[in-house]
């Protein structure tokens, strides 16, 4: 039986910094292709897993979870083995000092982002954040040796590993959005084929963190789905985050009510989840869901699109926190949708 926590941990272990998702192909395929009828990389930038219901001309349901994670890119190599870098996706500069990274050159090497010692700091400087181009990574190599392994343009990811907190909660790097990818994979893996009313296309898409319109947009062009669910993370309740823009962790996934998504599809999902007794929270994202959905819904001839999101704390840090029960509930929602006649009626 596929264990949720284990699946998330394995997905998180796969480096997929925005722009370097292609490097994940072998590892990812080995991990998840057994759960699909076919698994391939779409040229526009997405891994696509297909599970068919077995009937001809069945409607197509696309479940999109972006697979990229925030990270960095090498911009220069200095004397003493120090690297300059820029961002891939929206970095949080509050957490950078003394944090640990892997540089993905010809081989994977470890590095520490330099923190300025107090004697070099102006009074009160600790209140200010350094600019990215002032930061350096200490690799412990000489420049000569480093240049044999690392080139400008190589990707950099955070080092932090997945770890357990109390109960169902886990923390670690790239939970955004591997936990949602896990929900989509879990749904496809465990849904009974006989009960499916549609073919499922799970797109693990690229470049969301840089463009908000990742590879799913292009992938949809060939898939031509009849409906799509974008699954991404949303803010968990936290001091300083308004209640109206956050949901409670452990209380199930949230469906987005937004002008950018398809309200009929959304309403059907809500009533299906209620019927199946799955906890479902709601978020209101009036004009923009902040996910791939905003771009996806306008693709090709138009795609009815809904957003099902999972609460996450510490977004864009290397210790993002989620509750695995929310992931399992999200997977249940996807399964219920895939097995429903009404969705495509």
Partner 1 sequence: MLNYLRELIKIQSVSGSEEKLALYIKGEMEKYFDECEIDPMGNLICHKAGEGKKLLFCAHMDEIGFIVTTVDDKGFVHFAPVGGIDFVAAAYSKVVFENGIRGIMVPEEGLKSDDFKAEKFIVDIGAKDKKQAERLVKTGDTFAVEPSYTRLRGSRICGRPIDDKIACAILMAAAREADKFENDITFVFSVQEEVGIRGSKVAAFRCRPDYGIAIDVTATGDGHGSKPMAVSLGGGAAIKIKDSSVICDGALVKKMEQVADEKSIKWQREVLTFGGTDTASIQMAAAGCKVGAISVPTRYIHTANETIDTNDAQACLELVVALAETKL
Partner 2 sequence: MNRKTEGIDLLRALCLEFGPSGCEDRVADLIKENIEGSYDELIEDRMGGVVALIRGNGKTDKKLMLNAHMDEVGFMVREIRDDGLICFSSMMGPDTRIMAGRKVTVGVPERLTRGVMAIKPVHTVDRGDRDKSAPIDEIYIDIGASSKEEAEKYVKIGDYGTFESDFVQFGENGRMLKAKALDDRLGCALMIETMRKIYANKDNLTYDVYFAFTCREELGMGGVKCTAHKVRPDYALVFEATAVADIHGVPEVSKVAVRGEGGAVSIMDRHTVYDKELTQLILDVSKEKDIPCQIKKYVSGGNDASHIQRSADGVKCAVISAPCGYIHTASDVVALSDYESMCELTLAVLERMNENA
Q: By C-alpha distance, which of 337, 303, 21 is closest to 174?
A: 21
- Write the interaction track for partner 2 spanning residues 115-154; mark x where CB under 8 A is met and - where it is not: xxxxxx-----xxxx------x-xxxxx--x---------
Neighbours of 93 (CB within 10 A): 13
Out of 14, 213, 269, 293, the only residue in the binding site for partner 1 (CB under 8 A) is 213
The verdict on whether omega for the bond into residue 172 sits within 30 degrees of 0, i.e. cis, is: no
Residues from 226 through 265 that contact partner 1 (CB under 8 A): none
Q: Which residues, at least 6 apart from 254, have a Cβ–Cβ distance to it below 8 Å?
A: 234, 247, 280, 281, 282, 283, 308, 309, 310, 311
Among the candidate windows 15-23, 93-101, 203-211, 275-283, which touches partner 2 by CB under 8 A?
Answer: 93-101
Nearest residue (CB) to partner 2, 140 versus 300: 140
- Write the interaction track for partner 2 spanning residues 154-193; mark x where CB under 8 A is met and - where it is not: ------x--xxxxx-x-x----------------------
The H or E element that residue 229 is part of is strand 227-235
- CA 27 to CA 159: how far, in whole Å? 18
- CA 64 to CA 203: how far, in whole Å? 5
Q: Is 137 a binder of partner 1 (CB under 8 A)?
A: no
Length of the chain: 345
Q: Is 274 a binder of partner 2 (CB under 8 A)?
A: no
- CA 197 to CA 146: how far, in whole Å? 54
Q: Is 279 a binder of partner 2 (CB under 8 A)?
A: no
Among the candidate windows 151-159, 184-192, 264-272, 329-337, which touches partner 1 by CB under 8 A?
Answer: 151-159
Out of 38, 151, 164, 271, the only residue in the binding site for partner 1 (CB under 8 A) is 151
- CA 200 to CA 133: how far, in whole Å? 43
Out of 25, 147, 212, 238, the only residue in the binding site for partner 2 (CB under 8 A) is 238
Q: Is 42 a binder of partner 1 (CB under 8 A)?
A: yes
Angle at 39 between CA 323 and CA 90, to 5 degrees: 50
Give one DSSP letter per residue of 151-171, joined into a string.
-TT-EEEE----EE-STTEEE
Out of 222, 245, 274, 342, the only residue in the binding site for partner 1 (CB under 8 A) is 222
- In the complex, the residues that contact partner 2 under the rule CB under 8 A are 78-82, 90, 92-100, 109-112, 114-120, 126-129, 136, 138-142, 145, 160, 163-167, 169, 171, 235, 237-242, 245, 249-250, 313-319, 321
- In the complex, the residues that contact partner 1 under the rule CB under 8 A are 18-20, 22-23, 42-45, 73-76, 84, 86, 88, 133, 151-153, 207, 210, 213, 215, 217-219, 221-222
């Amino acid at each position: 039986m596929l264990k949720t926590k284990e699946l998330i941990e394995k997905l998180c272990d796969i480096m997929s910094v925005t722009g370097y998702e292609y490097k994940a192909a072998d590892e990812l395929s080995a991990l998840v292709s057994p759960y699909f009828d076919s698994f391939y990389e779409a040229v526009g930038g997405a891994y696509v897993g297909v599970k068919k219901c077995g009937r001809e001309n069945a409607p197509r349901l696309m479940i999109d979870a972006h697979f990229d994670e925030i990270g960095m890119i090498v911009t220069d190599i200095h004397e003493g083995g120090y690297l300059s870098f820029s961002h891939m996706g929206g970095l949080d500069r509050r957490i950078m000092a003394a944090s640990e990274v892997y540089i993905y050159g010809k081989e994977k090497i470890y590095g520490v982002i330099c923190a300025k010692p107090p004697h070099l700091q102006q009074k009160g400087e600790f209140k200010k954040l350094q600019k990215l181009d002032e930061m350096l990574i200490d690799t412990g190599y000489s420049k000569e040796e480093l240049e044999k392994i690392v080139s400008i343009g190589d990707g950099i990811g955070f080092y932090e590993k997945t770890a357990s907190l109390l109960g169902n909660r886990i923390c670690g790097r790239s939970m955004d959005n591997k936990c949602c990818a896990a929900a989509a994979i879990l749904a496809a893996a465990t849904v009974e084929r006989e009960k499916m009313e549609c073919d499922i296309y799970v797109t693990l898409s690229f470049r969301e963190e840089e463009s908000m319109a990742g590879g799913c947009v292009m992938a949809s062009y060939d898939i031509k789905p009849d409906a799509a669910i974008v699954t991404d993370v949303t803010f968990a309740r936290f001091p300083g985050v308004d209640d109206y823009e956050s949901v409670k962790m452990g209380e199930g996934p949230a469906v987005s009510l937004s002008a950018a998504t398809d309200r009929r599809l959304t309403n059907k999902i809500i009533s299906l989840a209620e019927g199946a007794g799955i906890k479902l929270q709601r978020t209101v994202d009036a004009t923009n869901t902040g996910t791939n959905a905003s771009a996806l819904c306008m693709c090709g001839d138009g795609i009815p699109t809904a957003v099902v999101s999972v609460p996450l704390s510490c977004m864009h840090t290397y210790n993002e926190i989620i509750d695995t029960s929310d992931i399992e509930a999200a997977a249940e929602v996807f399964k219920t949708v895939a097995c429903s006649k009404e969705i495509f009626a």
